[in-house]
């Protein structure tokens, strides 16, 4: 679709179609967040019709995903860390504790492992973390 063709009606049709196809609130919200970022980039680049797209997307109200309602207790985290230390998994224990104490996501601590051509194969996704 061309950016000049984005209207409020088209945006709402997209949203409703995704919901009808079983897409989660989180998915729909992320998609529109990405669309808004692309339109904002177009506006700063002075692309024709990008300003209208930014305004159109701003007018489309979305539900926000529900926050998590289940959190580990300090006692649970302490027991996981102690067990990991007992098994010699010190990096895991440290990372898990950092996630809890600093309110970070696991990916913020360990990063993302991507496929490589490494001959040892240790840096392949799923092999080390």
Q: Domains of the chain: which residue ranges?
A: 3-58, 71-129
From residue 114, give the alpha-carbon distance in Å to each of 19, 96, 104, 108, 124. 31, 21, 21, 15, 6
Q: What is the pLDDT of residues 35-89, one digit of tens each?
A: 999 999 999 999 888 899 999 999 998 888 777 788 889 999 999 999 999 999 9
- Neighbouring C-beta atoms of residue 6, cutoff 10 Å: 21
Q: Which residues of 27-37 are buried (b: 16+ CB within 10 A; e: fewer)?
A: ebbeebeebee
- For residue 5, give the DSSP letter: G
In the chain, the N- to C-terminal Cα span, in Å, equals: 39
Give the relative orientation of helices 90-102 and 74-86 as an angle to the nearest 10 degrees: 160
Q: Would you state the structure tokens that stand for residue 2, as one six-digit string?
A: 């061309």
Q: What is the pLDDT of residues 94-120, one digit of tens each?
A: 999 999 999 888 888 877 766 666 665
- For residue 66, give the DSSP letter: P
Q: What percent of the chain has pLDDT over 70?
A: 87
Please state, in angstroms and rounded to a whole number, the distance separating the CA atoms of residues 46 and 54.
12
């Amino acid at each position: 679709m061309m950016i000049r063709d984005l209207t409020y009606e088209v945006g709402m049709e997209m949203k409703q179609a995704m919901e009808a196809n079983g897409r989660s609130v989180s998915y729909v919200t992320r998609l529109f967040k990405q669309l808004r970022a692309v339109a904002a980039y177009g506006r700063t680049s002075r692309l024709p019709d990008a300003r209208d797209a930014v305004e159109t997307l701003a007018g489309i109200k979305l539900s926000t995903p529900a926050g998590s309602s289940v959190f580990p207790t300090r006692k649970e985290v302490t027991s996981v860390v102690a067990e990991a230390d007992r098994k010699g998994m010190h990096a895991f224990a440290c990372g898990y504790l950092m996630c809890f104490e600093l309110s970070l996501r696991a990916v913020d601590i360990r990063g993302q492992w991507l496929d490589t051509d490494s001959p040892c194969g240790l840096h392949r996704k799923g092999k080390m973390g």
